[in-house]
Every structure is written in C-alpha cells, then in structure tokens.
C-alpha cells in the first residue's frame, strides 16, 4: 500500500532531541512564586492544583484528552541540573535559598487524571496534582503546554476520523508546524484515530506506523512521467503508491497501470476537484483491470472536506495543515488552578477550598474534585458530573479519574494503543450528535455536586 510501515519497540528509547531536563519549560513567575513561598514558610503546605477548561472551542461538542503520557515523562524529567541552576543564578531569576531547593527538586506527590484518549467537557478536572505548593506550582507551564497542544490535535483528529467513517487516515503535517510539535502532533493524531504518520521521528520515538513514497519533485526529476513511475516501481515494488496529478491525471493513471500492472497498490491525487477526480479515476482503474488499486487523496483536507468525500470511491486520506493546527483551534484554553490548600503548615492540617473570584468569565470552583459520567438507561452518556466531598453511591463505578503518579512514582504509563482504543470506545459511548460537524453545544452538560 502507501509506502512502508515501520513499527518498533520504544521501551528503551529516549527523546529524539538532546533535552537534559524539562525544568525550564517553565514561566519565570512560577519560580518567583516559589521563592516568595519559601520566604513566607508556605511552600510546604499541602496543595491541590487542577487542570481544566472553562469551555470547549467554539462549535466543538466534546474534547479529547491527549498528552497524558508526555506529561508523565515531563514530570519524571523535571530536574534542575547544574547548567540550569547556573543559568538561573546568572540571570538573577531566584535567590540562593531557592536555587538550593531546586537543586534537590523531585516531585513526590500524587497525580490523578482522566486517562488518555478519554473525552472531556467544560469543567472536567482533567489532571489533579497534589503535593506541596512548591512541588506542584512549578509544573504549571509544562503541564498546560502539553495538554493544550496534544488535546487540540487529538480533538481535530477525532472529528476527521468520524467523518472518514472507517477509512484510513494518514498524518502528513510535519512541514506545517514546529519540528518538535510535529512529533507530538503525530502521537496525538494516532490517539484521535489516525493510523499512520509520515514523520519518522514520531515512528522512532513512539513506534507509530510510518508511510511515504514520493512527491512531485520525483516525477519532475525524470525526463518522462513513465520514467519516474518505472523507477519507483522497480525500487519499491508494484504495491507502491504513484502520484498521478503532476501533469494530466488520466494520462498518469493509464501510464501507472501500464508500468505496474493491475497489481499497482494505489494512486494518489493531490490537487483538483477531488470528488470528481476520484470517480473518474476509479472508473478508469476498473476499466484498465486494476480494480484492486486503491485511491488516496490529499490536498489541504479537513473534517469538512473529508465528509464531503463520503460518497466518493476514496480508500484513504492524507491530512496535514488542518490537523497539526487543530483544524482552527490549536489550543483548548486549559488552565491550571490552585483549588485547595492546607489550612496551616501542619502535616495533618485539613484542606481548605480556594478559588479565584473575578469578572469576565474567569472564575474557578474551589475544592478537590472528583468526576463521573452518568449514563442513561441505554448505556449512553448523558451528563458529566463533577463534585467535591463524598461520591454518590450510584456514580462510584463511573468515576473518571485514575491514578497516574503515586508518591512521586509514575504508575499510569500505558501503551499508546491503549489510549487509541479507549478513545474509540469513549466516542462510541456518546450521543450520536457528538460526531455531527455542524456547530453546537457540548454534547453532555456538566452538573456540579459540591460538598
């Protein structure tokens, strides 16, 4: 089919770039707050932070949790080594007392969260970080940067997968975003329903299936289109995918079958009226005896373009720009807020709910919260229930948060395929209207049960 597939174990692989620590993926004010809290004596107070979004992007009916595994990696690698400490000292970011604290920094608290691939709604406590104020406050930026980016990509991927109706989707967006963001985008797209990626770094880092054959440049390099097709088939085999829109599509399809025979794996169309061309190419391939040759379409696709091709004889889609930019919503507007802290510095002091109160829609709800999803009598989700205090008996088996870090030790790592499978199941458990592309409100309403 469309290129080769490379799958490998990544258990012992490190990051594909030399990043000694994630500690400087941090806004300066997190460290200046830490310094002031150390000075006041409040840095050791037990605290609870939650990551959530107040609203879904305009028109979206559900969100998709992605990036959780990367957050766990980031927490584990959050270390202030000598070069980082020297930088902070040289720039006068914090004082020596704070530098001494940071030199020994290790997160020793607990993290709970929605499992990766799950869907979420406004107010959902996607990640709950519990530890001392000092330990938890410095994680704000790296947690949000990962969750906001990856969840936006996964949500776009999910919409595209729903629109594709089971046809394979290939991620091809590396050239349309930052080189490191492209790797994370490939991972998030896979969770959201894409089957493969053109990005080799993503294949190396996460074991994703990789795809790719040739671009227009390869055809233009040769004196004739037939010469280019012949070279590709001789190198990659008859099961390859030939790009047929460099010159005239009908001529290219005829030449492709002439060169590769009816065993030709696929043809790719990258421009023009894709709906019309797909029908014409399918008819032409069938007439030439290449009834099993598949049709792949690319060319600036998004979920709406994919949906418009539902009746076309298309076998697979390649998506780039729209996917890696979140299909118009590159962030999920998630925030990381202190929702509870100990009443005093005593180790057994009770937690006190705290919350920001301001105008402009930026208020938050205090208290250490749980979340559960209530189902109707048919087993379809009908509400996202968020509360503090005891969990009602009827919702105890429907709780959303799972342990991710316990006492500083990562306990929530899982294979990427588990998150992908979870998303398919979670989306299937929503009301049918969840996958409609028309603008609408979140498909589940949020109920609060605050103790």
DSSP 8-state assignment for residue 236: H
CB 387 within 8 A of CB 369: yes
CB 248 within 8 A of CB 272: no
Backbone angles phi, psi at 197, to 5 degrees: -145, 150
Confidence check: pLDDT of 321 > 80: yes
Q: In this predicted structure, what is the pLDDT of residue 20?
A: 53
Alpha carbons 389 and 365: distance in angstroms, whole number: 13
Alpha carbons 151 and 159: distance in angstroms, whole number: 12
Angle in degrees, CA 272, 213, 228, rounded to 5: 80
Quick one: pLDDT band at residue 39, thresholds 50, 70, 90? very high
DSSP 8-state assignment for residue 3: B
> Pseudo-torsion of CA 122, 124, 127, 130, nearest 10°?
120
Quick one: pLDDT band at residue 41, thresholds 50, 70, 90? very high
Confidence check: pLDDT of 307 > 80: yes
Of 294, 278, 291, 288, nearest in space to 255 by CA:
288
Alpha carbons 198 and 180: distance in angstroms, whole number: 14
| Section 331-341 average pLDDT | 96
Q: The tokens of 252 are what? A: 């290219």
Q: Strand order in 351-353's β-sheet?
A: 351-353, 334-342, 46-53, 127-132, 110-113, 402-406, 409-410
Q: How far is C-alpha 85 from the chain's CA centre?
A: 31
CB 373 within 8 A of CB 392: no
Confidence check: pLDDT of 14 > 50: no
Q: Coil, strand or helix: which one is 49? A: strand
pLDDT tens per residue across span 166-224: 999 999 999 999 999 999 999 999 999 999 999 999 999 999 999 999 999 999 999 99
CB 339 within 8 A of CB 368: yes
pLDDT tens per residue across span 68-122: 999 999 999 999 999 999 999 999 999 999 999 999 999 999 999 999 999 999 9
Domains of the chain and any CATH numbers: 28-151+329-449 (3.20.140.10)
The full DSSP string for 37-93 is HHHHT-TTSEEEEEEEESSPSTT-S-EE---HHHHHHHHHT----HHHHHHHHHTT-
Q: In this predicted structure, what is the pLDDT of residue 451?
A: 72
Q: The tokens of 414 are what? A: 């899982």
CB 62 within 8 A of CB 434: yes
Q: The tokens of 112 are what? A: 């709970």
Taking residue 220's Cβ as centre, other Cβ atoms within 10 Å add up to 11
DSSP 8-state assignment for residue 224: S
């Amino acid at each position: 089919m469309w290129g080769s597939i490379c799958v490998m174990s990544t258990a012992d692989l490190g990051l594909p770039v030399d990043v000694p620590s994630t500690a400087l993926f941090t806004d300066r004010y997190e460290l200046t707050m830490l310094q002031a809290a150390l000075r006041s004596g409040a840095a050791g107070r037990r605290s609870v932070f939650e990551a959530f979004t107040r609203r879904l992007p305009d028109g979206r009916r559900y969100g998709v949790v992605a990036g959780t595994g990367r957050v766990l990696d980031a927490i584990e690698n959050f270390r202030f080594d000598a070069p980082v400490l020297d930088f902070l000292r040289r720039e006068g970011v914090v004082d020596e007392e704070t530098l001494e604290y940071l030199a020994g920094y290790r997160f020793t608290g607990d993290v709970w969260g929605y499992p990766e691939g799950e869907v979420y709604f406004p107010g959902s406590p996607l990640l709950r970080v519990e530890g001392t104020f000092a330990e938890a406050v410095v994680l704000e930026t790296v947690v949000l940067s990962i969750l906001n980016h990856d969840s936006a990509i996964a949500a776009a991927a999910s919409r595209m997968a729903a629109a594709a109706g089971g046809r394979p989707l290939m991620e091809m967006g590396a050239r349309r975003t930052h080189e490191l963001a492209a790797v994370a985008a490939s991972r998030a797209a896979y969770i959201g329903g894409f089957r493969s990626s053109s990005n080799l770094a993503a294949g190396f880092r996460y074991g994703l299936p990789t795809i790719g054959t040739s671009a227009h440049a390869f055809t233009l390099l040769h004196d004739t289109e037939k010469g280019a097709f012949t070279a590709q088939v001789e190198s990659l085999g008859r099961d390859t995918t030939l790009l047929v829109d460099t010159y005239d599509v009908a001529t290219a399809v005829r030449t492709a079958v002439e060169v590769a025979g009816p065993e030709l794996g696929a043809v790719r169309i990258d421009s023009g009226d894709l709906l019309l061309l797909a029908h014409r190419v399918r008819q032409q391939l069938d007439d030439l005896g290449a009834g099993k040759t598949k049709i792949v379409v690319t060319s600036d696709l998004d979920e709406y373009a994919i949906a418009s091709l539902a009746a076309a004889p298309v076998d697979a889609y390649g998506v780039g720009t729209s996917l890696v930019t979140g299909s118009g919503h590159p962030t999920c507007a998630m925030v990381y807020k202190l929702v509870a802290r100990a009443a005093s510095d005593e180790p057994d002091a009770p937690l006190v709910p705290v919350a920001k109160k301001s105008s402009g829609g930026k208020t938050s709800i205090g208290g250490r919260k749980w979340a559960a999803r209530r189902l109707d009598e048919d087993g379809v989700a009908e509400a996202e229930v968020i509360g503090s205090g005891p969990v009602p008996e009827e919702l105890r088996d429907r709780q959303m948060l799972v342990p991710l870090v316990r006492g500083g030790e990562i306990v929530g790592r899982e294979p990427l395929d588990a998150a992908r499978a979870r998303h398919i199941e979670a989306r299937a458990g929503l009301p049918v209207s969840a996958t409609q592309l028309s603008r609408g409100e979140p498909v589940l309403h949020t109920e609060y049960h605050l103790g």
